[in-house]
């Protein structure tokens, strides 16, 4: 494990010692022996698919060769992060067959909001999941109880794992985009305090069961989603040079700023915890706005979709689906080179884009406050 050079300045040594009181020393390749994740489709590794089997090909085509519970052609940032820490992929908590939770559990499910949804999950294809953040936290508490009651179960971790784990949270997209669609920027502003408070409360509850290191990811630039552009009424002039909806992106940035401030307040309350605000928004916005600078050919255009044009997205035909439109059966199919696309399906990202996001997380380039994973883990190559 890499450590500060022995001749480093006293201040650097003091900082290292202070951090060491927060994160346990590693007895192997990494001080973090598990990942517990909470969120929506951006980090769902199969929870929604376990509860509501619904993910068809070509999802999973690039890495797994078959649908693997992820809305992308391959791996998600959470998968790359696990690989970098030398851990296996994080199994979905809702997946009863084949899951091994010795190195953590994933409570995220696609379409999960922060707040309790007020509509049936079966209302439409874009309705929120019933597994909102409070439910996920309660599932985590129940998981901990089961671990402590059955400490020798073959697929459960050592009860000490909860203080040796990395806790990751990536949620809020569904709350913000639905509120923006119904009430505009003012609606998003109205629910900001409640959303950020719920996320902070989740951190506090996880802290109470042993968590000490938290990566809280901010929201993606949803104004660049092909789905947002197709499904949300907006003025044609309300787009930037990349084709992204400016008003929605501005609302997201305001929310992210509020989240950052709330986490700073939480940090003051939990002084012996690492609460890291992870800015992946700026990384993804850069990919959308300047795709060719990063090896991509397409920004907002979906690889898997139907309709062609600048977005290749039809609001009635999602990736992998077929539907009759104007008397003709059409299908949303995948491109042959998803590695050249930032957008996989008009909502989610390609594996290639996800890897770039993960690279920035592993490098710690967009953390507030700074946090160096290399001090606690022998980072494994990801590719």
The answer to whether residue 238 is catalytic is: no
Which among 41, 43, 112, 343 is annotated as catalytic?
Answer: 41
The answer to whether residue 343 is catalytic is: no
Please compute the mean of the pLDDT values over residues 274-288 and round it to a whole number: 98
Fold of the domain built from segment(s) 31-298: Rossmann fold (3.40.50)
* Domain layout of the chain by residue ranges: 31-298
Per-residue pLDDT, 211:
98
Please state at what angle helix 246-269 crosses helix 173-208, rounded to 10 degrees: 10
CA distance 106 to 370: 25
Per-residue pLDDT, 128:
81
| 43, 106 Cβ separation under 8 angstroms | yes
Per-residue pLDDT, 126:
56
Using H for helix, E for strand and C for coil, what is the string for 202-260?
HHHHHHHCCCCEEEEECCCCHHHCHHHHHHCCCCCCCECCCCCEHHHHHHHHHHHHHHH
Which among 173, 281, 298, 348 is annotated as catalytic?
Answer: 348
Share above pLDDT 90 across residues of the chain, in percent, rounded to a whole number: 85
Whole-model pTM over 0.85:
yes
Per-residue pLDDT, 56:
96
pLDDT-derived band of residue 181, with 50, 70 and 90 as boundaries? very high
Per-residue pLDDT, 133:
98
Which among 73, 79, 175, 345 is annotated as catalytic?
Answer: 345
Please compute the mean of the pLDDT values over residues 352-361 and round it to a whole number: 98
CA distance 169 to 218: 9
Per-residue pLDDT, 8:
34
15 pLDDT higher than 50: no
CA distance 382 to 373: 15
**DSSP labels for 305-348?**
BSS-TTT--BTTB-TT-EEEETTEEEE-B--S-GGGEEESSSSS
The answer to whether residue 237 is catalytic is: no
- Number of Cβ within 10 Å of residue 330's Cβ equals 16
Torsions phi, psi of 92, nearest 5? -70, 135
The alpha-helical segments, DSSP class H, found in 27-132 are 47-51, 77-84
| 344, 350 Cβ separation under 8 angstroms | yes
Per-residue pLDDT, 119:
59
β-partners of residue 185 are none
| 294, 356 Cβ separation under 8 angstroms | yes
CA distance 286 to 106: 28
Model pLDDT for residues 319-332, shown as the tens digit of each residue: 999 999 999 999 99
Per-residue pLDDT, 152:
76
């Amino acid at each position: 494990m890499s450590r500060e050079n022995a001749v480093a300045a006293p201040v650097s040594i003091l900082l290292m010692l202070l951090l060491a009181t927060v994160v346990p020393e590693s007895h192997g390749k990494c001080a973090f022996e598990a990942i517990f994740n909470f969120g929506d489709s951006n980090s769902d590794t199969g929870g929604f698919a376990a509860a509501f089997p619904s993910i068809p090909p070509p999802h999973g085509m690039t890495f797994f060769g078959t649908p693997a519970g992820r809305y992308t052609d391959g791996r998600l940032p959470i998968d790359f992060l696990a690989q970098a820490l030398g851990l296996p992929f994080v199994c979905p908590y809702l997946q009863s067959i084949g899951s091994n939770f010795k190195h953590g559990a994933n409570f995220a499910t696609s379409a999960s909001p922060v707040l309790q949804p007020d509509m049936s999950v079966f209302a439409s294809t874009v309705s929120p999941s019933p597994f909102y953040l409070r439910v996920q936290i309660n599932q985590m508490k129940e998981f901990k109880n089961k671990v402590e009651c059955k400490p020798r179960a073959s697929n459960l971790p050592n009860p000490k794992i909860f203080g040796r784990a990395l806790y990751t949270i990536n949620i809020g997209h569904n709350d913000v985009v639905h509120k923006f669609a119904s009430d505009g920027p003012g609606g998003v502003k109205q629910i900001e305090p409640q959303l950020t408070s719920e996320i902070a409360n989740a951190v506090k509850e996880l802290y109470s069961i042993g968590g000490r290191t938290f990566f809280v990811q901010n929201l993606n630039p949803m104004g660049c989603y092909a789905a947002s552009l197709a499904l949300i009424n907006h003025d044609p002039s309300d787009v930037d040079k990349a084709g992204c909806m400016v008003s929605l992106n501005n609302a997201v940035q305001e929310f992210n700023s509020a989240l950052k401030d709330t986490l700073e307040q939480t940090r003051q309350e939990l002084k012996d915890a690492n609460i890291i605000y992870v800015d992946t928004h700026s990384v993804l916005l850069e990919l959308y706005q300047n795709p060719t600078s990063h090896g991509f050919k397409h920004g907002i255009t979906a690889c898997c979709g139907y309709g062609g044009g600048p977005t290749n997205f039809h609001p009635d035909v999602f990736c992998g689906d077929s539907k009759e439109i104007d008397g003709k059966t059409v299908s949303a199919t995948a491109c042959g080179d998803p590695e050249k696309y930032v957008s996989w399906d008009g909502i989610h990202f390609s594996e290639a884009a996800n890897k770039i996001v993960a690279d920035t997380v592993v490098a710690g380039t967009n953390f507030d406050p700074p946090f160096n994973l290399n001090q606690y883990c022998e980072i494994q190559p990801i590719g």
